[in-house]
Amino acid sequence: MAMVTARRSSPASALLLRLVAGVVLLGLAGATTLAGVCLRDGSVVVGADTRATGAATVADKRCLKLHALAPGIVVAGAGTSAACDEVTRTTEMELSLEALRRRQRGGGGGG
């Protein structure tokens, strides 16, 4: 099982992490197992299995389903792996562009 931990750094990121963890707790799709836990100190632990299946066959035993998009932002993928990978790549690029825009405006790098 792959695990990611994050510490909250602001009320907004804490809310986002709690929402992600809440969605992940409900996010069981097909043969994918995703879980998230909010700890008392505001940290969130998210875990996922690493199996990629095709019908009844395990195609990949080391498939990464958790992706860190930015500091404090983790995405968990379930479903068609190609679709998950594309959404992850697109979101990573959008977050990088937003960080560049913020730096240009003098608003910090967001990271």
Separation of alpha carbons 4 and 105, rounded Å = 31
Q: What are the DSSP calls for 38-106, one per residue?
A: E-TTS-EEEEE---EEETTEEEETT---EEEEETTEEEE--S-HHHHHHHHHHHHHHHHHHHHHHHHHT
Asked whether 78 and 49 are in contact (CB, 8 A), the reply is: no
* Single pTM value for the model: 0.52
Residue labelled with tokens 């860190």: 68
Asked whether 35 and 47 are in contact (CB, 8 A), the reply is: yes
> What are 100's strand-pairing partners?
none
* Catalytic annotation, residues: 32
Residue-range domain boundaries for the chain: 2-78
Give the pLDDT of the chain (111 residues) as one tens digit per residue. 455 555 545 555 555 555 555 544 444 445 678 888 888 888 888 888 887 776 667 777 788 888 888 888 888 887 777 677 778 888 889 999 999 999 999 866 555
